[in-house]
Chains A and B, each alone.
Chain A
Amino acid sequence: DGGITQSPKYLFRKEGQNVTLSCEQNLNHDAMYWYRQDPGQGLRLIYYSQIVNDFQKGDIAEGYSVSREKKESFPLTVTSAQKNPTAFYLCASRGDRAGANVLTFGAGSRLTVL
């Protein structure tokens, strides 16, 4: 079953703890993205990566970190510095370098800070 797998689906965290959200894809896509989805605000870009070992900050990168050690994997760490981490997080990938810019999304991870 090809696609993007995000885990965990639900995650609860105490304030002050770092958590890492997993994103794995078997689509052989080069580019990967993390978005945050909040009601009434749509999706906002956190980080993105076009190739292994390279990534760029998006619009709301503060309090987050990522790594891209493998093409298939793009984990997101929500650090204790993120002031409002409770949200729904979406991972996406894009395989068309020619610029179709069509993203494939994962099912998402819902993080709740207690």
Chain B
Amino acid sequence: AQRVTQPEKLLSVFKGAPVELKCNYSYSGSPELFWYVQYSRQRLQLLLRHISRESIKGFTADLNKGETSFHLKKPFAQEEDSAMYYCALSARTDSWGKLQFGAGTQVVVTP
């Protein structure tokens, strides 16, 4: 069974400080990992995925298969980063494209 754990419900950081959102997963096969973000009054949207190996809005995430983690990091948080962040997993062999989501982490960036 697939499981995604986000241990922090709320993360409060100051503007300009580094921010790291933790995500751990359990899955015996080959996973695809994603970070989705939901800004206030906006739709849930994709932030980044591990296969792209890209940086979006200054955020990066590295898949660590040994530690089964996919933590999201940004060196300098901005106020516009305040949002709800969800880590999600999909099995590469799943042709249905089902996503297993974590419980989410609310990020609040204060000036």
Q: Give me the interface of A with B, judged by CB distance under 8 Å.
A: 31, 33, 35, 40-45, 48, 50, 56, 58, 90, 94, 97, 99-103, 105-108
Contacts and interface: CB of A to CB of B under 8 A. Distances in A.
A42 B103 contact: yes
Contacts of B96: 31, 48, 50, 56
Interface stretch (B13-21, B40-48, B57-65, B67-75): B40-48
A90 B6 CA distance: 20
A108 to B, nearest CB: 8
A105 B84 CA distance: 15
Interface residues of B, number: 25
Contacts of A42: 4, 6, 86, 101-104
Nearest to A105: B44
Nearest to B9: A40
B1 to A, nearest CB: 10
Nearest to A35: B101
A102 B45 CA distance: 9
Contacts of A94: 97
A103 B95 contact: no
Nearest to A6: B43
B98 to A, nearest CB: 6
Given A50-B95, A100-B49, A107-B43, 16 more contacts: A31-B96, A31-B97, A40-B9, A40-B103, A42-B86, A42-B102, A42-B104, A43-B44, A44-B101, A48-B96, A48-B98, A97-B95, A101-B34, A101-B94, A102-B46, A106-B43
